[in-house]
Amino acid sequence: NAGVTQTPKFQVLKTGQSMTLQCAQDMNHEYMSWYRQDPGMGLRLIHYSVGAGITDQGEVPNGYNVSRSTTEDFPLRLLSAAPSQTSVYFCASRNVGGRNTGELFFGEGSRLTVL
Amino acid sequence: AQSVAQPEDQVNVAEGNPLTVKCTYSVSGNPYLFWYVQYPNRGLQFLLKYITGDNLVKGSYGFEAEFNKSQTSFHLKKPSALVSDSALYFCAVRASGGSYIPTFGRGTSLIVHP
């Protein structure tokens, strides 16, 4: 049971380049989400999904796209990277069944630097 | 709207002493409350949660938290701190009425001195 797996762990981009951060979970969780963590800002929600084919925006969605074609995968795409997107990105998932009381399971993070 | 406040950016405690990391919340209806810990260069790990029932919740690594509805607080506690407890701690709240999205506090850095 690998849990939530994020790749790559580190990435350096130039302004204007595009890339995809990958997230996969093997726990059959319906809910998946992407956060960015910046010093003094805590965790900010970028996008989330409550199931395959369903996505929605979080607090800071601009500059990012997501899709959810399978239950397991939830990639985050940066369309045209900007220095303001330099951050640590976390993918998190949880079960929404039963009484919907589940806690989040986080990946180990992807550290992105945009020059 | 829901919100979480962690009033202390940093908490310092000597090893062996009790520790408290504070959290207050605001939510419509009944809250689901969570504590997570983040060690350097790692993802967040779940520590404990309050859903319903006993106001004192016990979690991993000897941590516990007390839910206080009248004060809208959910402070994290441990009777005897270890140097290895030094980490960043996040409190989170979610409304019980079917909400999917938790709101996180900004985090409190706990430093345990030998």
Are A108 and B36 an interchain contact pair (Cβ–Cβ within 8 Å)?
no
List the single residue in B with minimal CA-CA distance to A57. B101
Alpha carbon distance B87, B71 (integer Å): 26
User: What count of CB pairs under 8 Å joins A to B?
Assistant: 49
Alpha carbon distance A75, B112 (integer Å): 37
Q: Which of A1-15, A87-101, B6-20, B66-80 has the lowest mean pLDDT?
A: A87-101
What value does the mean pLDDT take over residues A81-108?
A: 91
Omega of the bond leading into A8 within 30 degrees of 0 (cis): yes
Q: Say which of A43, A96, A103 has its CB closest to residue B104.
A: A43
Beta strands in A1-115 (DSSP E): 4-7, 10-13, 19-25, 31-38, 42-51, 54-57, 64-66, 76-78, 87-94, 105-106, 110-114
Per-residue model confidence (pLDDT) at position A101: 78
